[in-house]
């Protein structure tokens, strides 16, 4: 397995996870990477993403993996792909995979919320319970955001507040920074940006 | 406000973000002319359209021109833009298009007209041409609907009639020559053969539709913009030919894209390879009015399959006719994909098919069905129209009868037992008389009559294997009013748009109640436009345009229709439609078709 590390920024953040998969499939085809296809009636490249990134969130260190049918230099893969992406997607590293995406347990994010202060965040976060409505496959569910958040710290930034968030991420538990944002600043007029910085394994070490 | 700040609040931000692969970003300081190519519908429709991609490429090949795309925002985005005073912007630069040199619309269907007004207004420009000052952009329009420019004459400065591949660049050159002096530009442009400036034009001078003589040497993009979000047709489109030899009497495209011109398989393969490589698409679609009339189809199909199959690229052939549908071809295409068969008999009886000159017989239909059913196909889609000239109830019942006999035929010859069996889907549309067709003088049936004929057919279908799809007809009536409309409709358009009519082609946004109100206020009645039989001798609003086909030819065809008599197609015999005078006999030579 070849692991590809990439950034998703700028206008690319408006791609949904499905859009991104389609984009990567096409990029691999344009770059003529000898990628292995799935068997079956509707073959498509064998692509595995570390964790979906919701529309609207930037990614600093995202991963996906492919299988090759014949070897290709890692630098060659990187430069070929980088020559053919839409604006906002950049491959930063190509390497052999040495771990399993299932080991991902959490991720670090920064959330910038315009017009709010660190004090606003502290007032919000000091509550014992913070309930939010979360859309799941089974319908709407109420979650206690407070207990889900692994850690959070806020500091005032130009025009708003910058919050560092450590949130569960992966197959077992997951909390979107957008849900935190929506609960903290429910007025939809409020402008925000969210970035996923990196993934962690169960020990909290960088993945 | 930067439009970026609105994007996370709307449903489809990727429709407004730009940044797609192969979109063209230039340094505005180095370009002389800025061109806003406006498609008056939503992004996913716009980005499925081939014409915009061809012209975008042609304009952007020139270093001194920057052409950007502009689409109609969806209502959620429009509301935010209005609230926050964000004027309509080009997707590439996000600059307001009111600062551009050209604001150009492509008019693909009548129900997009209110969107033209909406987009001008969102751009911060007065919608009426007479109210725009000389320092505002030139607002131009092209596309198939401009063969009758009159309903939009109040809003558009200049119509460019016909194929834009050559003429658009001429217009930009003229603009540069006039140093951006709009008055001078419009005066000089109005003298060009294919241009119509409603405010200035001398109606005794005909405006002649421009065509490209040789498609092989016409510019075709080597790169296509690959949208970040899924759009309706997300694939490589290859135009294999332009024009149609068939001459179906209701069909405007079959008349206004004449003459019949084909591209060579070699040229197309070269272009398809480049496009697949530059986009990474896994589907190629062949675009034309009737792909099976392409002379070298078997040879081209082989070349295509040789290229596509090993690369896992699907082939889509949306406009195959049934009459020359061959087993060999089906086998080839099935190798790639497809278990559904689509036919457009248009009418339910042979008598009516003869009257509309759709030269398909039942024998053709059942032969094709046999081939398809034996090949394992178990779904048939049929396109029909109601309200065609000379139609009787017998013709409508004939639709149900034909569908039923297809079902019976399937169960006679089917090879595999079990499963869901056959499904037949009938898509029923309503005839709309269109300019430059032999039926341009014919009345459209009224709304009550549309409903009566739809019910008649619905009640005649008894099999549960047959599904009937149709619209309620209100949009067809509006289409009928505008397609043959005159300049008086400008008032109606403005009034309806002010009341809130926009995105009329979308069921969820179409407001017939508002249209009715507007028609009452403006004193415009459907029966005077859509429902009226125009006289052969009367002056028609679109007489100022010369599309190539002569009125004498259209009258001849109209009279044959009344007698339910067919005409041969262009390959069989030249009918002297008149198009040779605009393209020269070398392009349109029946011996070489």
B420 Cβ under 8 Å from any chain A Cβ: no
Range with the poorest average pLDDT among A100-114, B200-214, B279-293: B279-293
Give the residue-averaged pLDDT of B313-332.
64
Residue B337: predicted pLDDT: 45
Is the CB of residue A28 less than 8 Å away from at least one CB of chain B?
yes
Residue A116 to residues A183, B84, B175, Cα–Cα distance (Å):
13, 21, 50
Q: A141 has which bridge partners? A: A134
Residue of A nearest to B277 (CA): A30
- Express each pLDDT in B232-286 by its tens digit: 999 999 999 999 999 999 999 999 999 999 999 999 999 999 999 999 999 999 8
pLDDT score for B592 = 62
Residues 6+ apart with CB under 8 A from A61: A5, A7, A92, A196, A197, A198, A199
Interface test with B, best of A28, A29, A82 (most B CBs within 10 A): A29
Distance to chain B for A103, nearest Cα, Å: 30
Reported as a single tens digit per residue, the pLDDT across A154-169 is: 999 999 999 999 999 9
**How many Å apart are CA B228 and CA A12, to the nearest integer?**
8
C-alpha–C-alpha distance, residues A85 and B334, integer Å: 33
Nearest to B281 among A11, A19, A26 (CB): A26
Nearest residue of A to residue B19, measured between CA atoms: A87
Tokens 């708003």 identify what position?
A: A160
Distinct helix (H) and strand (E) counts, chain B: 20, 17
Q: Examine residue B493 and say whether the peptide bond preceding it is cis (omega within 30 degrees of 0).
A: no
Map residue B509 onto helix, strand or coil. Answer: coil
Does position B400 have pLDDT exceeding 50, yes or no? yes
Pairing of strands A57-66, A192-200: parallel
Contacts of A25 in chain B (CB under 8 A): 280, 282
Distances (CA, A) of B473 to B117, B486, B531: 24, 22, 13
Of B24, B26, B3, which is closest to residue B13 (Cα–Cα)?
B3
Share of chain A above pLDDT 90, in %: 88
Candidate from A26, A188, A191 with C-beta closest to B279? A26
Mean pLDDT of A16-24: 96
Give the model confidence (pLDDT) of B452-464 as tens digits: 999 999 999 999 9
Q: How confident is the model at residue B395 (pLDDT cuts 50, 70, 90)?
A: very high
Can you tell me the mean pLDDT for A182-194?
Answer: 95
In chain B, what residues touch A15 (CB-CB under 8 Å)?
14, 228-229
User: Do B35 and B104 touch, CB atoms closer than 8 A?
Assistant: yes
DSSP B289-321: S-GGG-TTHHHHHHHHHHHHTTTT-EEE-TT--
Residue B285 main-chain phi, psi, to 5 deg: -115, 135
Contact between B541 and B425 under an 8 Å Cβ cutoff? The reply is no
Across chain A, what does the average pLDDT equal?
95
CATH 2.60.40 holds for A103-200:
no
B312 shares contact with chain A (CB less than 8 Å): yes
Question: Under a CB-based contact definition with an 8 Å cutoff, are residues B284 and B313 in contact?
Answer: yes
Q: Note whether A83 contacts B: Cβ–Cβ < 8 A.
A: no
Q: For chain B, list the domains and their CATH numbers.
A: 4-205 (3.40.50.280), 236-488+524-528 (3.20.20.70)
Q: What is the DSSP letter of B287?
A: E
φ/ψ of residue B104, rounded to 5: -115, 130
- Can you give the pLDDT at residue A206? 93
A188 at interface of B, judged by CB pairs closer than 8 A: yes
Residue pLDDT, tens place only, B96-109: 999 999 999 999 99
- Report which of residues B376 and A55 the model is more confident about: A55
Query: Is the backbone peptide bond immediately before A28 cis, with ω within 30 degrees of 0?
Result: no
Give the confidence band of B593 by pLDDT, cuts at 50, 70, 90.
Answer: low
* Residue corresponding to tokens 């991104």: A20
Confidence of residue B590 (pLDDT cuts 50, 70, 90): low
Smallest CA–CA separation between B279 and chain A, in Å?
Answer: 7
Residue B335 has pLDDT above 50, yes or no: no
Per-residue pLDDT of B380-392, as tens digits, reads 889 999 999 999 9
What average pLDDT score do residues B416-439 get? 90
CA distance B39 to B44: 11
Q: B280 vs chain A: nearest CA distance in angstroms?
A: 4
Angle among Cα B508, B513, B519 to the nearest 5 degrees reads 125
As a whole number of angstroms, the distance between CA A112 and CA B486 comes to 55
Distance from CA of A75 to the nearest CA of B (A): 21
Q: Which B residues, 110 through 139, put their C-beta within 8 Å of a C-beta on chain A?
A: none
Considering CB atoms only, which of A11, A28, A191 is closest to B19? Answer: A11
Phi, psi of A22 (to 5 degrees): -65, -45
Q: Do B228 and A15 touch (CB under 8 A)?
A: yes
Instruction: Answer yes or no: is pLDDT of B321 > 60.
Output: no
Residue B377 is predicted with a pLDDT of 77
- The pLDDT tens digits of the residues spanning B54-64 come to 999 999 999 99
Q: Is the confidence at residue B336, as pLDDT, over 50? A: no
Tell me what percent of the residues of chain B surpass a pLDDT of 90: 80
Fold assignment, A2-98: Alpha-Beta Plaits (3.30.70)
B33 forms beta bridges with: B65
Q: pLDDT per residue over B36-90, tens digit each?
A: 999 999 999 999 999 999 999 999 999 999 999 999 999 999 999 999 999 999 9
pLDDT value of residue B329: 65
Q: Which residues of B touch A115 (CB under 8 A)?
A: none
> Alpha-carbon distance B318 to A202, whole Å?
53
Half-sphere exposure of B407 (CA within 13 A, CB side): 19
Residue B79 at interface with chain A, using a CB cutoff of 8 Å? no
- Across chain B, mean pLDDT equals 92
The ipTM estimated for the assembled molecules is 0.95
Strands A151-157 and B423-430: unpaired
Q: For residue B415, name the pLDDT band (cuts at 50, 70, 90).
A: low
């Amino acid at each position: 397995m070849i692991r590809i590390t990439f950034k998703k920024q700028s206008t690319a953040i408006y791609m949904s996870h499905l859009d991104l998969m389609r984009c990567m499939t096409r990029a691999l085809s344009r770059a003529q990477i000898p990628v292995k296809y799935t068997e079956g009636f509707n073959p498509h490249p064998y692509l595995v993403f570390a964790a979906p990134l919701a529309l609207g969130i930037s990614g600093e260190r995202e991963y996906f993996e492919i299988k090759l049918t014949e070897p290709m230099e890692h630098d060659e893969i990187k430069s070929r792909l980088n020559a053919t992406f839409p604006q906002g997607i950049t491959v930063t590293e190509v390497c052999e995979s040495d771990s399993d995406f299932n080991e991902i347990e959490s991720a670090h994010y920064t959330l910038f919320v315009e017009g709010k202060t660190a004090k606003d965040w502290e007032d919000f976060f000091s509550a014992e319970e913070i309930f939010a409505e979360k859309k799941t496959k089974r319908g709407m569910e109420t979650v206690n955001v407070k207990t889900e958040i692994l850690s959070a710290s806020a500091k005032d930034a130009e025009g708003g507040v910058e919050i560092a968030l450590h949130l569960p991420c992966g197959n077992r538990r997951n909390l979107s920074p957008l849900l935190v944002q929506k609960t903290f600043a429910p007025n939809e007029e409020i402008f925000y940006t969210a970035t996923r910085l990196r993934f962690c394994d169960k020990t909290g070490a960088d993945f | 406000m930067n439009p970026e700040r609105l994007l996370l609040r709307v449903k489809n931000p990727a429709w407004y973000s730009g940044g797609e692969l192969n979109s063209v970003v230039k340094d505005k300081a180095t370009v002389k002319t800025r061109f806003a190519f406006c498609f008056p519908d939503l992004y996913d429709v716009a980005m499925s359209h081939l014409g915009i991609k061809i012209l975008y490429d042609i304009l952007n090949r020139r270093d001194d021109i920057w052409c950007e795309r502009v689409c109609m925002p969806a209502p959620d985005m429009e509301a935010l833009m209005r609230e926050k005073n964000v004027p309509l912007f080009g997707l590439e630069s996000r600059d307001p298009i009111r600062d551009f040199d050209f604001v150009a619309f492509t008019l693909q269907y009548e129900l997009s007209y209110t969107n033209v007004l909406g987009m001008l207004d969102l751009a911060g420009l007065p919608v009426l041409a007479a109210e725009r000052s000389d320092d505002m952009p030139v607002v131009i329009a092209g596309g198939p609907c401009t063969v009758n420019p009159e309903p939009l004459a109040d809003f558009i400065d200049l119509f460019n009639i016909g194929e834009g591949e050559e003429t658009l660049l001429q217009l930009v050159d003229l603009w540069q020559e006039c140093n951006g002096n709009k008055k001078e530009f419009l005066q000089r442009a109005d003298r060009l053969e294919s241009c119509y400036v409603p405010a200035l034009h001398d109606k005794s001078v005909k405006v002649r539709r421009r065509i490209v003589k040789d498609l092989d040497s016409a510019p075709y993009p080597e790169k296509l913009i690959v949208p970040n979000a899924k759009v309706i047709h997300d694939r490589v489109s290859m135009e294999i030919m332009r024009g149609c030899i068939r001459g179906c009497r209701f069909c405007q495209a079959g008349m206004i894209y004449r003459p019949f011109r084909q591209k060579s398989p070699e040229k197309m393969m070269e272009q398809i390879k480049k496009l697949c490589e530059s986009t990474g698409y896994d589907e190629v679609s062949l675009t034309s009015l009737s792909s099976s009339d392409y002379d070298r189809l078997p040879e081209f199909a082989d070349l295509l399959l040789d290229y596509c199959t090993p690369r896992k690229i699907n082939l889509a052939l949306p406009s195959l006719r049934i009459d020359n549908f061959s087993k060999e071809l089906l086998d080839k295409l099935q190798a790639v994909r497809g278990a559904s068969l689509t036919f457009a008999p248009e009418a339910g009886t042979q008598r009516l098919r003869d009257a509309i000159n759709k030269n398909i017989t039942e024998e053709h239909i059942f032969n094709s069905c046999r081939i398809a059913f034996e090949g394992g196909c178990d779904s048939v889609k049929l396109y029909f129209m109601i309200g065609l000239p000379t139609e009787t109830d017998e013709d409508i019942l004939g639709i149900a009868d034909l569908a039923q006999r297809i079902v019976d035929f399937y169960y006679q010859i089917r090879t595999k037992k079990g499963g869901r069996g056959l499904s037949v889907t009938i898509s029923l549309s309503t005839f709309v008389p269109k300019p430059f067709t032999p039926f341009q003088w014919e009345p459209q049936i009224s709304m009550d009559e549309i409903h009566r004929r739809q019910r008649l057919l619905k009640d005649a279908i008894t099999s549960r294997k047959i599904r009937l799809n149709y619209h309620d007809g209100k949009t067809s009536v509006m289409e009928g009013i505008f397609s043959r409309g005159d300049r008086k409709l400008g008032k109606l358009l403005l009034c309806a748009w002010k009341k809130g009519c926009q995105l009329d082609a979308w069921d969820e946004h179409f407001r017939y109640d508002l249209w009715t109100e507007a028609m009452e206020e403006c004193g415009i009645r459907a029966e005077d436009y859509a429902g009226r039989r125009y006289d052969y001798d009367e002056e028609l609003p679109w007489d100022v345009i010369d599309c190539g086909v002569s009125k004498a030819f259209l009258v001849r065809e109209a009279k044959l229709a009344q007698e339910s008599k067919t005409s041969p197609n262009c390959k069989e015999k030249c009918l002297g439609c008149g198009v040779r005078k605009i393209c020269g006999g070398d392009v349109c030579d029946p011996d070489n078709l």
